[in-house]
C-alpha cells in the first residue's frame, strides 16, 4: 500500500514568493496533520483536519500560512508570501481514527526560502 505522499520533496524559493506544499493521505484515513520541523522548535503541529474539516489551526504561525483539504485524498499547505524563517521540513501525516491512533508520516518537504 502507498503511504502518505508529499510533493515536492524539495523546494527552493525566494523570499516573497508563494509556496504550495501538497499531501495525499493514506486511502481511508480520516484525519490529516501538517507539521513543521526545525532544529530550534522541533516538531510542531500546524493544523489538523478530521473528515476534511479543520479542527485545530492554533499552530499556524501567522496569516501567511493557510491550509485546505478539498477532499479526503488531497490537502495543501500554502505560504504567501514566504520568508527565510519559514525554511524547515514540513511533514504531512494521516491517521484512520480521530482518537488514539497511529499517525503515519509522509517523507516531508524540505523548504528553503532564500
Partner 1 sequence: QQPVQSPQAVILREGEDAVINCSSSKALYSVHWYRQKHGEAPVFLMILLKGGEQKGHDKISASFNEKKQQSSLYLTASQLSYSGTYFCGTGFVGDGNKLVFGAGTILRVKS
Q: Which residues of 57-89 are buried (b: 16+ CB within 10 A; e: fewer)?
A: eeebeeeebebebeebbebebebeebeeebbbe
- The closest of 41, 36, 31 to 99, measured between CA atoms, is 31
Question: Least distance to partner 1 from the beta carbon of 30, Å?
Answer: 10
Interface region with partner 1, contact rule CB under 8 A, candidates 14-22, 60-68, 72-80, 106-114 = 106-114
Binding mask 84-103 for partner 1 (x = CB under 8 A): -------x---x-xxxxxxx
What x-and-dash track marks residues 4-43 binding partner 1 by CB under 8 A?
---------------------------x-x--------xx
Amino acid at each position: 500500500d502507498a503511504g502518505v505522499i508529499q510533493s515536492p520533496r524539495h523546494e527552493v524559493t525566494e523570499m516573497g514568493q508563494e509556496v504550495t506544499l501538497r499531501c495525499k493521505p493514506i486511502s481511508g484515513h480520516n484525519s490529516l496533520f501538517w507539521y513543521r520541523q526545525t532544529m530550534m522548535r522541533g516538531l510542531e503541529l500546524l493544523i489538523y483536519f478530521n473528515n476534511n474539516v479543520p479542527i485545530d489551526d492554533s499552530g499556524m504561525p501567522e496569516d501567511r500560512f493557510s491550509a485546505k483539504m478539498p477532499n479526503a485524498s488531497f490537502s495543501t499547505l500554502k505560504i504567501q508570501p514566504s520568508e527565510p524563517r519559514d525554511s524547515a521540513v514540513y511533514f504531512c501525516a494521516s491517521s484512520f481514527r480521530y482518537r488514539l491512533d497511529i499517525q503515519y508520516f509522509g517523507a516531508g518537504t524540505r523548504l528553503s526560502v532564500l
